[in-house]
Amino acid sequence: MYIPLQKKMIRELLFATNNLHKIKEVRDLLTPGFKVLGLQDLPFTGEIPETAPDLAGNALQKVRFIHDRYPVNCFADDTGLEVDALQGAPGVFSARYAGENATYADNVEKLLAAMKEFRGPEQRKARFRTVIALILNDREYLFEGKAEGIILEAPAGTGGFGYDPVFLPVGFTKNFAEMSPDEKNAISHRGEAIRKLVSFLLENR
């Protein structure tokens, strides 16, 4: 059952997402003493709008939408995969690259088809970017993380989610889907953004 959060409590936060993979990643990254709730802990149904043209705009739009309805300390994120050869696509449309109801596999399949003519690491450069928007005691803050890498020609690994099976980070021989959660979190875009968020929260208890 949902228990309303206290506005002045920093140690308990609402993550404005239904994505259980993201919630688990964030819970794994936050230091002990922080409690993260998701939208499944609220009496909330429906869709959160994501109509901004960039990641920061989407993150702010989502957190404001939830905060207007549940005035608690909360945060939202938006993550995009930016591929140089595709002029930054799929970018802000990463989650729905292959359509509104696309699965992770659908998105990966479309990406690999779009990348078919590009060969070698130099032509397959890409990056993940995550922007987190936090509303804390009615003030807004932004935190960004980035991970550089290349797009593999075929998926591998069974971990992670989204484009992880085809994203090989710079300096590593394993892609995100082949890494353990701890390995991925140590170098990932979301990990970097969350560490910035946690550092800020610790400084502003």
Which residues are the active-site residues? 78
CA distances, 98 to each of 79, 87, 166 (Å): 16, 17, 16
**How many contiguous H segments (helices) and E segments (strands) does the chain have?**
5, 7
Tokens of 106: 């659908």
User: How many Cβ atoms sit within 10 Å of the Cβ of residue 111?
Assistant: 23
Tokens of 151: 């797009």
Beta strand segments in the chain, E: 12-15, 35-37, 74-83, 90-91, 125-136, 139-151, 167-169
Round to whole Å and give the CA distance between 9 and 34: 10
